[in-house]
Amino acid sequence: MTQAEATSRTGKRVLLAKPRGYCAGVDRAVQTVEEALKLYGAPIYVRKQIVHNKHVVQTLEAQGAIFVEENEEVPEGATVIFSAHGVAPEVYEQARARSLKAIDATCPLVTKVHHEAKRFAAEDYDILLIGHEGHEEVIGTAGEAPAHIQLVDGPDDADKITVRDPAKVVWLSQTTLSVDETLETVARLKQRLPLLQSPPSDDICYATSNRQHVVKEIAPECDVVIVVGSTNSSNSVRLVEVALDAGARAGHLVDFAHEIDDAWLVDARTVGVTSGASVPDDLVQDVLAYLAERGFGDVEEITTANERLTFSLPQELKRDMKAAAAARG
């Protein structure tokens, strides 16, 4: 019996979301660590996880990257890379104080939000930062203008906000939030603050929006949606929530194929598969192979957007790579 015949007999299929996996900012951050290891040699220190993915971190550790929580753990004069999520200005100052060679792998879309925060603070606005308390990106953005920024962690937080001048207030957001929940939070804020201004351009990044949009497309047809991603990855966790809100009967987050519980598949006919923005696609292929072994061999890729954006490597790294290439001759 062919695979197609087996599929038609079992009725089992996979709807594979596209876009999924690596976004331009993650690709740039991972490449930054890889190129730094090649150029400067191991060890290279990385403050926080370069991206929120267990597999990526383990792979880079095997190549000689050492992940630390704070600059104090980095030997004086060593090279340190700041993660894709961005850092507060004080982190740069700490690095200078320890004579560290700092390479900034912050996603340019996060940097954009930092610039917005600085600009509105300079104009003496109250800034309402929509995001998750304790997330590295939120800590970094809030650090740009701590006296002006208040965190709004979801719609219910909107009722607790106080501002100096209701006519001079703006909202910004973490780049990896649920689009729908953010809009709900903004709506709640506007009930209390009708003159609330919006950021000049959308803060939620294109990749987060795109991955949520395609999941909304496939979720109503899915008995279960499997999202490949780590539990500390905000955008991956959001994808499970979006799938459930959009009509999937069940949704689960896994780092690796072996974490799938076969009980999830018992009565399933259609399984949706996607991955967070910090997930390499070979992990998704492992999930597809796992599902195929259990009768889900018919894979239909559902595409709602084609992503072509790329970001160049950090300037300080590119400069050193160019100098090394010139020295080689």
Is residue 135 marked as binding?
yes
CA distances to 49, 172, 185, 197, 233 from 192, in Å: 38, 17, 11, 13, 31
Which residues share a beta bridge with 79? 101
Q: How far is CA 169 from CA 118, 146, 175, 198, 203, in A?
A: 14, 15, 19, 9, 16
User: Is 222 labeled as ligand-binding?
Assistant: no
Residue of 35, 136, 137, 144 with catalytic role: 137
Determine whether the annotation assigns residue 175 to a binding site: yes
Q: What number of helices (H) and strands (E) belong to the chain?
A: 11, 12
Is 201 annotated in some ligand binding site? Answer: no
CB contact at 8 A, 48 and 57: no
Flag whether 230 is marked binding.
Answer: no
Name which of 273, 269, 287, 302 is nearest 12 in CA terms: 269
What is d(CA 14, CA 271) in angstroms, rounded to the nearest whole number? 5
Q: Which helix (H) or strand (E) element contains residue 17?
A: strand 13-18
**Contact call for residues 236 and 26 (beta carbons, < 8 A):** no
Distance separating alpha carbons of residues 316 and 107, to the nearest angstrom:
15
107 annotated as a binding-site residue? yes
User: 247-277 burial, b if ≥16 CB within 10 A, otherwise e?
Assistant: ebeebebbbebeebeeebbeebebbbbbbbb
Distance CA 132, CA 217 (A): 26
Tokens 């950090």 belong to 314
316 belongs to the catalytic site:
no
- The answer to whether the CB of 288 falls within 8 A of the CB of 14 is yes
Is 252 marked as binding a ligand? no
Q: Tell me the two tokens of residue 100.
A: 């560290």
- Asked whether 63 and 147 are in contact (CB, 8 A), the reply is no
* Residue list for the binding site for [4Fe-4S] cluster: 23, 107, 205
* Residue list for the binding site: 23, 52, 85, 107, 135, 175, 205, 233-235, 278
* Residue list for the binding site for isopentenyl diphosphate: 52, 85, 135, 233-235, 278
Active site members: 137
* Residue list for the binding site for dimethylallyl diphosphate: 52, 85, 135, 233-235, 278
